[in-house]
Each structure stands twice: as structure tokens, then as C-alpha cells.
Amino acid sequence: MSVKDRFLDYVRYDTQSDETTGTMPSTAKQKILAQRLVDDMQAIGIADAHMDEHGYVYGTIPANCEKKNTIGFIAHMDTSPDFSGENVKPRIIENYDGKDIVLNEDLGIVTAVKDFPALEKRVGKTLIVTDGTTLLGADDKAGVAEILQAAEDILKNDLPHGTVKIAFTPDEEIGAGPNEFDVEGFGCDFAYTVDGGELGGMEYENFNGASAKVTVKGRSVHPGSAKDKMINASRVAMEFASLLPVREVPENTEGYEGFAHLLGMQGEIEHAELHYIIRDHNKAPFEARKEKFRLAAEFINHKYGRDLVTVEIKDTYYNMKEMILPHPEILETAKAAMRQNGVEPVISPIRGGTDGARLSFMGLPCPNLCTGGENAHGKHEFAVLEDMEAIVEIIKTIIAIVE
């Protein structure tokens, strides 16, 4: 089997996670792919491959030579709830010509080079795209396919390797991937998540992340006699939003710049809700961003003379940098593996989170590697086949050179 075949197969499984269910995994359909992965792992010789009751998949490639370290590779099975992952229809574009890509002629959906200039660097490559009605699922089924293809190559060719552990997690996209991860049972000295973007990417810094739920209570009165009586919760919610820094949002920030991102809002006169995520790479401004939410609520409640607004903030993960830097050999191994395969490492901060962030704080140092997928979480997502094949080789090289 090839990494292309695996990827095209896995993206057809609908595995969207759902933060509203309160279950683990958050959607039962993730277990369908999980069982398929167990079957595939056993078919290539990973005898202990299994799925636990929470939908995690684990397996071991036993050592065939002596190595000091046990290493792991981790990818997530779920796709983002931000865009449909049902009935994915991947399409292959060979020898991409650098022009706009018509995803769906009937619906007029086009991936334009002016909007996604990174396409200019993909001329001559083989792209895997969507039909414009769903996301693709390269985040992170590209990582899943690459890890399994590397495992198959190692086992089929009896390449020298120490003990290698593999894990596939549910619910990463809703920040719950590590919730039930068995770090002790996984038994690794360190691991890599394969959950990044374009070829060469390697990350060991990520946002500190939190979620914020803003609830507004209103009071409904007939509009004909509402003066000095009605409190329109939806309007108060908009007033709350206006008190946050208007430029500190995802569409205006990059690099190490943080933001507050409004994910969604629902409102009527009596009740309204705003749902945010809060992100910053550094702890002090991260705490300051959360405080701005609390101060905005205090201001409105003082203005109206009543407790209309409540804010619930929950931390979800922290910057793994402080857990990775004490182990520089993990980064150096990945850099060396990339260079041995003609790829220059590009180290940059993750403008998001990854299972590796929380796993690092759970005792498993876990930087992140590229997958060859780009434009995640939407209809313009694509994967570069040649890059995916290169990442398979990088994983195999890491396994070969780790001490």
C-alpha cells in the first residue's frame, strides 16, 4: 500500500469531533476509523494494535536492534467541526500548473492563487484537493497515513529500529485529544506529533490556549412600552464584543501575536451567548487577555446596575516550549532526519494547539512535525503528495538515527 492510497481511503471516513456532546470520543463515528486503523496495523505486523474504550488506538513495533530510547509517533483521527467532513470527495491534480484551481464548477468554488499564494511554490507537484463542499481531512489524516506507511516500510524491509510506539487520538480538534491518553502505558521517552503543515515545518512552541463563554441575561418587554424596561441581551452581547481590542483577532495577527477569536454567537432578547477562544504565546499577555474579558463584564454590569454578563474562562493548553527545550536532542534528531532527506527544517511557532502541547506537560516531550497538508479546516484544504512521501522518509530516518 502507498501513502497516497492510505490517505485517499482515510479521508472518506467522516470523523468530525463535537465539543457539545460531553463524551469521549465526542462522536461515535471516530471509532469506525479507529477500528479500521487497528485492522491495518495488525495487517502490517503490529500484533498488539488495539483500540481502548475511549477510542484511542495504540500499537508497538518491537525493537530489532538495541536503542537507548523508545520513541513514539502520534496523529489525530478527528477533523474539525468548523467545516463539513462528510462525504469527502478528494481529487488528484497531477503536475499542477500554478493556476487557479476550480474545485466545483457548478457551485463556482475556486481556490485562487491570489488568495493562497503558497500555491505558486507547488507548480509541478501532485495536489490532492476537495470538491469544494467539504474539508479534505489532511489535518490530520495525512499524519495518520504517513506514520502507518513508515511503519509498513520498516516492517516489510526489516529496517533496523528500536522500540517504536504509535498512537492515534480522537478529539484533538476540540482540545480533548490528551484527556484519556495513557502516557504511562504508551511508555515512550519522547514522541512526535505528525500534525503540522508544509514540508520542513517543525514546531516546539505553541499558543497558550483558553476558551471563554460569555452569557448575557436580558429582559423582554413589548417594544411598544419598552422604554427604560427592556434589556436586549443580543445588543448587550454586541456591546461586550465591542469592548475587546478590535485589531487583536486572527485575521489581523501573525507570528507570535495573540488574539481573541469569536467562534460563534446566539442571541435573543432574554438570552445571548458568545463563544471565544483566547490565544497568546507568552504567559503574561495570555493572562492579560483573559482579564480583559472579566473587565468588560464588570464594566457592563456596573453600567446597567445589575449582573447581566457572566464570563466562564477555561484554560485548555499551554506553550510546550518550556517542556521541550530541556531535551534538545529531540529537536536535533528531527532536524538531522530532515536534512538527510534534502529538506531544510523551518522552525516556527504554532498558531494553534496540538496534542503534543498537553502531552508534553503530562510527561511526554512531544514536538510537532509537518504533514504536507495546507489550508486546514476548510474547503480550500489541500495536500502535496510528494511532500507526504518525503515525510514518510523523514519518519523512517528519525527511527533509524535515534539513539
Q: Which of 14, 40, 78, 146 is catalytic?
A: 78
Catalytic-residue membership of 78: yes
Catalytic-residue membership of 172: yes
In the block, cell 443580543 appears at 234
Tell how far CA 111 is from the center of its chain. 22
Asked whether the beta carbons of 129 and 47 are under 8 A apart, the reply is no
b/e 18-51 (16+ beta carbons within 10 angstroms → b): beeeeeebbbebbbebbebbbebbeebebeebeb
Q: Which of 172, 239, 355, 381 is catalytic?
A: 172
Q: ∠26-28-29 over CA atoms, to 5°?
A: 115
CA 136/CA 114 separation, integer angstroms? 21
Would you call 124 exposed, middle or buried from its count of C-beta atoms within 10 A (0-12, 13-18, 19+)?
A: exposed
Q: Which residues make beta-bridge pairs with 347? A: 202
Residue 395 CB coordination number (10 Å): 26
3-class DSSP state for residue 134?
coil
Tell how far CA 87 is from the center of its chain. 20
CA 389/CA 184 separation, integer angstroms? 31
Alpha-carbon distances of 400 from 2, 153, 154, 205, 314, rounded to whole Å: 20, 12, 10, 25, 41
Q: How many Å from the N-terminal Cα to the C-terminal Cα in the chain?
A: 29
Instruction: Give the residue numbers annotated as catalytic, written as ranges.
Output: 78, 172
